[in-house]
Structures are given as structure tokens and as C-alpha cells.
Amino acid sequence: MSNSDPFAALIDIAERSVLNAKGLPAQVDIKPHWSGIGFKLAGQYFVAPMGEVAEILAQPTSTRLPGVQSWVKGVSNVRGRLLPLIDLESFFGGSLGSRKQRRVLAMELGDLYTGLIVSEVFGMQHIPVDAFSEGVPEEVEKLKPFLSGSYHHNGLVWSVFSPFKLAQNAEFFNAAAS
């Protein structure tokens, strides 16, 4: 190869690059995934569809409201908006664990802006769609009106919980003490 012919030098570099190039990694079948926000309630694992959770918050301080159900923990000011806080476990007849790990799943459905207090949040969960089952664990049967199946993933059963279905429940919507 002559130093005076730059085109020949480029061709030589290209040919040596092709000879020394590593092959592409083996093509792996990409499985479609479903994504949701993972959380824990009453010792059980749940996922809420991404579009049904507006944000995740540390439990803010709140002002207690008179004349409401015991599961309504009060109202908080979150960036200038009033956020009613609902103790989700208490709504279903239980009681929340350690305050340290509690989080609030804020849902926004039309004019309804509400915070659901849960025991713990695990962030986004990306679960293969083929791990879906129509059934739900026996331990969460009483929540069935708000569930739409479950996923078996990483050795856990994640029940799919819909905050929007909860918001349409008459008992949930009527928070006034009887």
C-alpha cells in the first residue's frame, strides 16, 4: 500500500475492519412487558396500572377532617392543591404497618385528586405479559371488585389493583361518617 494513495488506504482500513469486527450479539426474542407501580398492602403485593397513578409521594402531614370515615386520614396541601388522604388498608378493614415505609399513590381521575396511603411502594414493575393470570390469590379475594387478575413474577404474585375502579365505588366515594 502506498502512502500517496489515500483512497487505497481507506479501502484497506475498511477491509481490515470487516475482518476483525465481532459479530452482532445473538438475537433474543423480546417479550412484551406490562408496566405498573408496585406496592404492598396487608402483606400482599399489588401493581397499579401506570396510567392510574399520577405520582408517588412520601406521606405528607395532613389536617384531620371532622365528620368523615375513620379511613380518611385528612387533607394535605401538595403544591397548592388539596389532596385528601385515604388509608387504603383501613378502608379494606386492616391497619397500616410502619409509618416509615408508607407512601401515597396519588390518583387523578377527572376532578378527583386523591392520595391512597399504602404500606410500601416498590416503584415501576415491568412484567412479561405472558405471566398474567385471570385469577387472584385467595388472600385478596375481598378486593376482587378492584382487581383485574394477577402476574406471577420473580417468585411473587402481583395482583393488579385499579385505583380508578376504587374511585367508582359508592362506599369509597361517600367518605362522610354515618
Contact at 8 Å (CB) between 126 and 97? no
* pTM beyond 0.85: no
Grid coordinates of 64: 384531620
Average pLDDT for 108-115: 91
pLDDT of 102 higher than 70: yes
Confidence band, pLDDT 50/70/90 cuts, at residue 35 = very high
Q: What's the confidence (pLDDT) of residue 53?
A: 96
Query: Which pLDDT band holds residue 21 (cuts at 50, 70, 90)?
Result: confident
Residue 128 phi, psi (nearest 5): -55, 135
More confident of the two residues 17 and 127: 127
**H/E/C letters for each residue in 13-69?**
HHHHHHHHCCCCCCCCCCCCEEEEEEEEECCEEEEEEHHHCCEEEECCCCECCCCEC
Whether the per-residue pLDDT at 27 is higher than 70: the answer is no
Hey, what's the cell of 115?
392520595
CA dist., res. 18 & res. 178, Å (int): 78
Q: What is the pLDDT of residue 79?
A: 92
Question: Would you state the pLDDT for residue 17?
Answer: 85
Closest to 167 measured CA to CA, from 76, 91, 103: 91
pLDDT-derived band at 97 (thresholds 50, 70, 90) equals low
Distance CA 121, CA 22 (A): 42
Average confidence score pLDDT of the chain: 89
| Domain 33-173 class in CATH | mainly beta
The DSSP secondary-structure symbol of 134 reads S
